[in-house]
């Protein structure tokens, strides 16, 4: 069964392909790929297509403009998107559309993809976009899966794929524990570079659940990892940014010619500008500094399980003081058994074939037959430092967790090497993995989209969010798979809805459910930390204090920095002047349509 040319090819590897898998994960990636294609029934779109031309320019003018860009970048660095859209899979993902599409796949689609090779070429692309009034959408690697992947918000935008040719690790400083990277550097690649230089025992990177993402892209979208350096945005230091005008700036100490502290002191002098380049459309980040963690001299991963759904509240009230005082040192996950079972990688049909949510009895019986055993919640954490330092923290944690009746500490030596626990163990010591993909196979043609509200680390909040999520997700016909990701003083609840992207009804139900979740959570005082392209307008609207004062401020910045509105229009709900008042916002009412009615003059 070959719906996709990728299905029969081998997994691309580093360093041959910048976005490839490192050798130590190749076998695992091959298995993951088999599992993905085993669950795929959706036929690949084989239709030869005309490129979607963005609103505001005629087709002929657009094609002529692309010729001009070919002359500047080289014809091989401009690809028109007129071929059948291919979904591929995690390691061979498209840069033309959202591989996890929740709309019709011709909605959030690029007209062309261009590959600049330097900051100067990014500037050229931006100036070209201004000249022709063509919307561009930068991606680092395009693996923001669950949040829109590589797709542009405005249909027919030209995707600027920064990663393919700008993937250098410009510096690794083993004395200051920092690095400086370009957009095409993945966690996999950074980790491989530390190993190649013999530095992986000396210093650690911090990786998200999956290591294929761009270090820049993830930080700029304020993604999360699982060592003490898990807040990626907080851990960055120094940006180089191409502005929508085509000018280029360096922030912080980078503005001082000849400085040697760009990666050491993020603030420099004057207003701290970095924030406006995160979750925005105010600039294209072409270089970023990142701090790295000294090897702490030892580590010990641990896992506790708790028997009842209702244990969540007491558990969170135990976690909060321990986390804020750094007894819990890393960004930890508290996962529900549904997610635990799905993470074993088998389709839901292995356990249950009727429609509607899996009955708890079936879920719990399935969990009981796994090495971890029956449970409702699992806490995954790690203690760092030499043994005597860890012993103090682990003893405190143990006595606190055991206040929950039925709490069990899982002995890692009882868990087989392919158990999910060991993936969390690797990630918590900065070793990138690919295991997290497994739960996407829960549904046929599995795709995922996240609901990610922020709350205090408090029992009452966790219980309210759990009730909201369970009620809404199950009413929509999906299994509820919550995971709480505990930051320092807050937590992100991550509810991934796994839907069948080959089924229009499944896509519609997932989107409607997300819209309900966002609105109801906002009415309760909760907002999302990050979101998918299709929810950005709605969520930006929930941050509406004082008559939308924050969005008015963002629009002022947008109009000042990008008067032609060429850079990622609509990203994070920020629409340039030429687009405003023309119905571009995606809401419940706009349904599956992503476009508005035209754009205004320059
Ligand atoms: C995950 C984690 C996230 C996120 C989306 C998915 C994976 C969890 C912490 O952030 O935003 C199972």
Domains contained in the chain, CATH given:
48-83+93-166+532-602 (3.30.43.10), 169-294 (3.30.465.10), 299-531 (3.40.462.10)
H or E element: which one contains 599? none
Alpha carbon of 46 to ligand 1 centroid (Å): 32
Q: Nearest C-alpha to atom 4 of ligand 1 is from which residue? A: 494
Q: How many CB atoms lie within 10 A of CB 488?
A: 15
Q: What does the pLDDT read at residue 483?
A: 98
Is there a contact between 433 and 423 (Cβ–Cβ < 8 Å)?
A: yes
Q: What does the pLDDT read at residue 49?
A: 85
Q: Against a cut of 0.85, is the pTM above it? A: yes
How do 446-451 and 332-336 pair as beta strands? Answer: unpaired
Dihedrals φ, ψ of 495, to 5°?
-110, 105
**Cα distances (angstroms) measured from residue 419 to each of 243, 330, 521:** 46, 21, 34
H or E element: which one contains 108? none
Query: Is residue 117 very low, low, confident or very high in pLDDT (cuts 50, 70, 90)?
Result: very high
Ligand 1 interacting residues, C-beta cut-off 6 A: 146, 209, 224, 450, 452, 483, 485, 492, 494, 530
Cα atoms in the 13 Å half-sphere on the side-chain side of 198: 0
Is there a contact between 137 and 159 (Cβ–Cβ < 8 Å)?
A: yes
Alpha carbon of 19 to ligand 1 centroid (Å): 20
Is 529 in the active site? yes
Q: What does the pLDDT read at residue 5?
A: 63
Residue 526 confidence (pLDDT) above 50: yes
Alpha carbon of 483 to ligand 1 centroid (Å): 8
H or E element: which one contains 516? helix 504-523
Closest CA to 209 of 493, 491, 453, 424: 424
Q: What does the pLDDT read at residue 305?
A: 98
Alpha carbon of 33 to ligand 1 centroid (Å): 21
**% of the chain with per-residue pLDDT over 90:** 97
pLDDT 10s digits, 301-336: 999 999 999 999 999 999 999 999 999 999 989 999
Q: Write down the catalytic residue from 530, 571, 578, 580.
A: 530
Strand segments, DSSP code E, in 146-232 are 158-161, 169-173, 178-181, 203-204
pLDDT 10s digits, 190-210: 999 999 999 999 999 999 999
Beta pairing partners, 502: none
Residue 411 confidence (pLDDT) above 70: yes
Q: What does the pLDDT read at residue 236?
A: 98
Query: Is residue 44 very low, low, confident or very high in pLDDT (cuts 50, 70, 90)?
Result: confident
Query: Is residue 4 very low, low, confident or very high in pLDDT (cuts 50, 70, 90)?
Result: low
Is 188 in the active site? no
Write out the two tokens for 478: 């999906």
Residue 2 confidence (pLDDT) above 60: no
> What span, in angstroms and rounded, lies between the C-alpha atoms of 512 and 510?
6
Q: Write down the catalytic residue from 147, 229, 351, 579.
A: 147
Is 147 in the active site? yes
Mean pLDDT value across residues 122-134: 98
> What span, in angstroms and rounded, lies between the C-alpha atoms of 180 and 140?
15
Is there a contact between 567 and 246 (Cβ–Cβ < 8 Å)?
A: no
**Cα distances (angstroms) measured from residue 397 to each of 91, 168, 205, 315, 382:** 38, 42, 26, 11, 11
What is the residue-averaged pLDDT of the chain?
97
């Amino acid at each position: 069964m070959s719906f996709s040319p990728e299905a029969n090819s081998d997994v691309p590897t580093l360093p041959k392909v910048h976005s490839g898998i490192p050798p130590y994960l190749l076998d695992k990636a091959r298995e993951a790929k088999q599992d993905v294609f085993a669950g795929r029934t959706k036929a690949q779109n084989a239709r030869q297509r005309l490129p979607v031309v963005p609103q505001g320019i005629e087709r002929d003018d657009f094609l002529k403009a692309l010729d001009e860009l070919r002359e500047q970048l080289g014809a091989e660095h401009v690809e028109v998107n007129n071929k059948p859209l291919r979904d591929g899979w995690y390691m061979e993902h498209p840069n033309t559309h959202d591989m996890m599409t929740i709309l019709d796949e011709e909605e959030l689609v690029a007209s062309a993809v261009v590959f600049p090779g330097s900051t100067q070429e990014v500037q050229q692309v931006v100036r070209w976009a201004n000249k022709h009034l063509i919307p561009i959408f930068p991606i680092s690697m395009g693996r923001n899966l669950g949040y829109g992947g590589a797709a542009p918000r405005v249909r027919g935008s030209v995707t600027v794929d920064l990663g393919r040719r700008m993937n250098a690790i410009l510096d690794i400083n083993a004395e200051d524990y920092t690095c400086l990277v370009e957009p095409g550097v993945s966690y996999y690649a950074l980790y491989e570079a530390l190993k190649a230089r013999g530095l992986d025992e000396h210093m650690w990177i911090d990786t998200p659940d999956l290591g294929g993402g761009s270090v820049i892209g993830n930080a700029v979208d304020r993604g999360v990892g699982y060592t003490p350096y898990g807040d990626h945005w907080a851990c960055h230091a120094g940006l180089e940014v191409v502005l929508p005008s085509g000018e280029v700036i360096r922030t912080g100490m980078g503005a001082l010619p000849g400085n040697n502290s760009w990666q050491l002191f993020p603030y420099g002098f004057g207003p701290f500008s970095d924030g406006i380049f995160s979750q925005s459309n105010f600039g294209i980040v072409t270089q970023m500094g990142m701090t790295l963690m000294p090897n702490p001299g030892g580590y010990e991963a641990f896992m506790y399980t708790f028997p009842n759904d209702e244990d969540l509240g007491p558990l969170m009230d135990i976690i909060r003081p321990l986390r804020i005082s750094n007894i819990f040192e890393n960004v930890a996950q508290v996962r529900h058994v549904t997610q635990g079972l799905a993470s074993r990688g088998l389709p839901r049909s292995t356990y249950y074939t009727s429609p509607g949510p899996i009955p708890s009895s079936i879920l719990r019986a399935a969990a009981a037959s796994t090495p971890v055993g029956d449970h409702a919640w699992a806490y995954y954490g790690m203690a760092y430092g030499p043994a005597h330092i860890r012993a103090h923290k682990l003893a405190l944690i143990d006595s606190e967790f055991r206040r929950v009746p039925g709490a069990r500490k899982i002995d890692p030596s009882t868990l087989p090497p392919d158990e999910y626990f060991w993936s969390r163990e690797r990630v918590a010591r900065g070793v990138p993995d690919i295991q997290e993909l497994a739960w996407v196979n829960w549904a046929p043609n599995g795709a995922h989209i996240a609901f990610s509200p922020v709350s205090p680390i408090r029992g009452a909040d966790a219980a309210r969010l759990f009730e909201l999520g369970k009620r809404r997700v199950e009413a929509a016909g999906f299994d509820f798979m919550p995971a709480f990701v505990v930051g320092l003083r807050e937590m992100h609840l991550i509810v991934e809805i796994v839907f069948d992207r080959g089924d229009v009804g499944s896509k519609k139900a997932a989107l409607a459910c997300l819209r309900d979740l966002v609105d109801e959570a906002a009415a309760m005082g909760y907002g999302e930390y990050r979101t998918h392209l299709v929810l950005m307008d709605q969520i930006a609207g929930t941050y509406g204090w004082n008559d939308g004062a924050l969005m008015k401020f963002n629009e002022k910045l947008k109009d000042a920095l990008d008067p032609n509105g060429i850079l990622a229009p609509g990203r994070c709900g920020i629409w340039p002047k030429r687009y405003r008042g023309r119905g571009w916002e995606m809401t419940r009412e706009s349904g599956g349509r992503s476009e508005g009615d035209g754009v205004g003059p320059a």
